Amino acid sequence: MPKRGAKILRCVVLGVMVLSVTGCARSQKILERLAIDHTIGYDLDDDQKLFVTAAIINQGEGGKEVKQELITVEADSSKEAKIKLSRQTSRNIVTGQLRNTLYSTEVARKGIRRLIENLVRDPSISPRVKITVVNGSVNELLSSEFPDHPNTSQYVDHLLQKNWKNQNIPQVNVYQFTRDLLDDGIDPVAPVVRRRGDNVLVDGLGLFKDDRYVGKLSADYNMLFAMSRGKYRQGEIYIKLDYQDLDGSVMLGTVSSDKKFKVWRKRAGGFVVEMLLEVKGDIMEYTGNVPLGNSRDIPKIQQGISSYISDKMERMVAIMQEKGSDNVGLGKQIRNSISYKEWKSLNWDEVYPEVTFRCTVKTKIKSTGEIMEVPAFKP
Amino acid sequence: MASNQEPVTLTHVLHDFDQCVDIVHRHFPLLSADIVFFDHLIDNNALERDILRPFANIQADEMHNLLMDSQFRAVTDHKKIIEGILKGDAAVFHCTSVYLVALYGPSSRAIEQSETEAVIIGPHDAFTESAFTNLSLIRRKLKSSHLKVVQLSVGEVVKCDVFVLYIDGIANMDYVNVMIERIRDIEIDIIVDSNMLVQHIDDYPNTIFPLFLTSERPDLIVSKLSGGKVAVIMDESPSVISGPTSLFEFFTSPDDYYQRWVIGTATRILRYIAFIITITFTAAYVSITTYHYEMIPENLLYTLIESRNRVPFPPVFEALLMEITIELLREAGARLPSKIGQTIGIVGGIVIGQAAVQAGLTSNILIIAVALSAIASFVIPSYVMSASIRFARFFLIVLAGLWGNFGLMVGISVIIIHLSKLTSLGSSYITPVAPLEFQDWKDLFIRGPFWMLKERPTQSRTRNKVRQKMKR
């Protein structure tokens, strides 16, 4: 027995040596010795050089309050920036808690592929890091102080998070951005934020052609874009009725939608893509002249809503076609309907602006509220 | 003159008990009889009834007839006489023959509540140090002639009675025989307590986990016996052994069965959660604050950094420091009388806990982690198992400090591998998991409703599997 014990002991000692002497020990990242990166922002300075702003969670020496600290550096690439940044702090800069990356419109216009590649390459960076375009200077946004929100980078992050949860903007993180970037026949988007007074505002949706920012869709289109991209649940939509003799406006609540695409070939060449959209919702607010208590008039309002949505959807795609960016993914639908060989031989960038887009909407109003119960007035 | 008439054996016996002032020797010259006994081992009423009164009422010539009575056992062997006297018999010497009269009845502790295994509802009686009281407690609950009791004795210098109990027809005789054989094979001068006996009969003497369930509760032992297990009572010890045992039995308590099944199940699940908390919580804290800052949710990150900010030690030292402090408090509290024990609780809980944070020695989140895992460890009903788990935790904390989550996984794997190697009376220690026996799960991981618990545990390997036939 003592022999066996010695053998086991030898194995244990050997095991501990092998695992701790081979250089694993230095990988310690003790929490309070870290400068934890929360947000990284990229600007261009006057010499067209990259200007990096990092918002780090800093704890101050000797038990001071934990707060955000900004460090900035001018660099040629994001990795050079990291080395230069670490010269400015007493702690190790780590990126494992990175939440958000901000790109000024100038940086985004030049293309952000290289910057995003670095995010993907680093295993400590989560694929769920958000990608956001800032209308204006990133450094200015991060260094501005908002009286109600002491921690600016966290504020911007939570703002995006909340808006994504309410389906006001699509969720755009490294994973979704690179997926749309690398997939054929679809281009990525990213939310645009800017400062307004004492608040930050979601300014709309940034349209990308490949990795280059080409323009912005106004915030009015947020719902429609969400509907065009996927299933839409529990949203709210405000509609101005302008159909036949209808007037006023409708607010639809608990909206859910589902979409399908159909693709035809034009006889003269080129494609027609039709989007079949089904929208369901409850009327939350109505200011028009049609008495909602009369169920015969409901189809009319439904048609009014349908025509509003389809008009606006077609207008939205027209804006994208004008900019040459296929953010809805019409190319993907066409690609799925033709052979791979044909798709390869197609010069999509040239074909895309010529594609005819039609949107057919079927609206269903699930309920109009308590008004249904009130009997019609008869003199 | 009288000493010459004394039989040789009496001189021998008295010589053996030379210098034992507690031996009592009474001489009856009229009857030419002698009795020798230990005053404190016998029941005085029985002495009066069985010996003194009959002796007073007879003449010398009637002595032979009296000694024919059944309470007088004729013994010729000198060693047997010594042993008998030590066991509380009175030795009666008359002419050349010797008789032993069983008068055993020392003063003993009354049947009280168990301090280590208290329950809120259900029977409150607990075993005492007297084996006969313990046997009586079991017999009272198991009024059956099928309950068999085998008497053995261990100890070379000092013989101690050991009783092996099983229910004939339910218990597997292989287990009974193995148990008896192992107890017979013990060669040691003295065994004081059954928790010591357990360590002489278990399959792996070096493991930290207890391989047999020991309990002070008669209702628990009765339920184990009726489940087809073997029980061992040792004289002079209040804990009774039952086996074969699986790891998961240590997480069950008799009052699971006294409550509604949903509540019993919830309590049982709570104990498994407590087990996981005890074994991993502090280690996870060490691992995360040392290596895996990425795993901390954003909202917790700020408070965690703030609380760790002033701590001068790496997390692993900080955690070991506090864990050792808690163990000190526990050990100090266990040794002290309960009135001072409360003071220890206050000193430990409030003064040390609060002051250590304020002095910047530890972070308050670690205090929560350490306190929570200490409390969770006491949720486990078996004190022996809870001590084992608390020990295993230190191993995990060190590994977590060395290699982070990887170390934690290595540690947990080593524990699982070790557990799956263990056996109790030759049957697997993690029985319903490996070998996989799903029908046992409803009586170990949850406390299923009684209509579901139709069969005895598979670990008993009983021939008589069905425990209830009620149709539902």
Mean pLDDT of B186-204: 91
User: A38: closest CA among A128, A105, A101, A118?
Assistant: A101
Cβ separation B298–A99 shorter than 8 A: yes
Q: What is the pLDDT of residues B295-345, one digit of tens each?
A: 999 888 888 888 888 888 889 999 999 999 888 888 888 888 877 777 777
Tell me if A207 sits within 8 A of A213, measured CB to CB: yes
Best residue in B204, B287, B291 for a mutation probing chain A (most A CBs within 10 Å): B291
User: A170: closest CA among A180, A178, A160?
Assistant: A160
Beta-strand relationship, B213-215 and B147-154: unpaired
What are the angstrom distances between the C-alpha of A168 and each of A218, A224, A331, A351, B218? 12, 10, 24, 31, 66
Cβ separation B302–A34 shorter than 8 A: no
pLDDT value at residue B4: 46
Cβ separation A19–B315 shorter than 8 A: no
Residues of A in contact with B414 (CB under 8 A): none
Cα torsion angle, B252, B258, B259, B260, sign = positive
Beta-strand relationship, A189-196 and A130-134: parallel
Best residue in B299, B300, B310 for a mutation probing chain A (most A CBs within 10 Å): B310
What are the angstrom distances between the C-alpha of B377 and each of A290, B401, B447? 69, 21, 21
Residues 6+ apart with CB under 8 A from B22: B38, B39, B40
* Tens of pLDDT, residue by residue, chain A (379 residues): 457 778 888 888 887 777 666 655 557 788 888 888 899 999 998 888 889 999 988 776 655 667 788 888 888 777 788 888 888 888 888 888 899 999 999 999 999 998 999 889 988 899 999 999 999 899 999 888 888 888 888 899 999 998 888 777 888 999 999 999 999 889 999 999 998 888 898 988 999 998 999 999 998 888 888 888 877 777 788 888 877 777 788 888 888 888 899 998 888 878 999 999 999 988 888 887 777 777 777 888 888 889 999 999 999 999 999 999 999 999 999 999 999 999 999 888 888 998 999 999 999 988 877 664 555 566 6
Tell me if B318 sits within 8 A of B363, measured CB to CB: yes
What's at A358, amino acid-wise? R
Q: What is the pLDDT of residues B379-421, one digit of tens each?
A: 998 989 999 999 999 999 999 998 899 999 999 999 999 999 9
Report the gap between the CA of A45 and the closest CA in chain B (Å): 31
pLDDT value at residue A300: 85
Cβ separation A63–B402 shorter than 8 A: no
Cβ separation B309–A59 shorter than 8 A: yes
- Mean pLDDT in chain B? 88
* Residue whose token pair is 């049982």: B268
Give the one of B293, B305, B309 whose C-beta lies nearest to A94's C-beta: B293
Residues 6+ apart with CB under 8 A from A100: A38, A39, A40, A129, A130, A132, A153, A156, A157, A160
Which domains occur in chain A, in start order? 29-228 (no CATH), 230-373 (3.30.300.210)
Interchain contact B305–A (C-beta under 8 A): yes
Tell me if B377 sits within 8 A of B386, measured CB to CB: yes
Instruction: Inform me whether the pLDDT recorded for B120 exceeds 90.
Output: no
Cβ separation B308–A31 shorter than 8 A: yes
Give the one of A30, A36, A124 whose C-beta lies nearest to B315's C-beta: A30
Contacts 24+ apart (CB under 8 A), A62-70: A62/B309, A62/B310, A63/B306, A63/B309, A63/B310, A63/B360, A64/B309, A65/B306, A66/B302, A66/B305, A66/B306, A66/B309, A67/A150, A67/A151, A68/A38, A68/A150, A68/A151, A68/A152, A68/A153, A68/A154, A69/A35, A70/A139, A70/A142, A70/A143
